[in-house]
Amino acid sequence: MLYKCHYNLLTTQTSSNIKSVSAEQFFKIYQVIQTTPIHIWQKKLSIEPVFLKLIPLSASLIKVILQTCKLQEIIISDNSLRTGLFIREWNRLKQEKRI
């Protein structure tokens, strides 16, 4: 839903639990999240559930994301290797009053 909403493409493979996107798509999505004002998100989709289900990660991609996005940690669920980094980042930006 998030990817379709901003890119209008159907390149993601989805199931009820998880959305799989390439590393390139992931960073494009991350850039959209960083640069889109909060009032636009609130009108289009439910933020937190989408972020939790966005992408399965490999250990090397986790490292790249942590370094590139300058994050402290990534939350991993018990179902699969998934990221809660968007919620973490969203909360950090809220605390800094940037959104």
Would the pLDDT of 92 be above 60? yes
CA–CA distance, 64 with 43 (Å, rounded to integer) = 31
Q: Tens digits of per-residue pLDDT, 12-62?
A: 444 444 445 556 666 666 666 666 565 555 555 444 444 544 444 445 555
pLDDT band at 70 (very low <50, low <70, confident <90, very high): low
Question: What is the torsional sign of CA 14, 41, 45, 17?
Answer: positive
Question: What is the torsional sign of CA 91, 93, 28, 73?
Answer: negative
Would the pLDDT of 80 be above 60? no
Token reading at 46: 């439910």
Of residues 64 and 40, more confidence is placed in 64
pLDDT of residue 25: 62
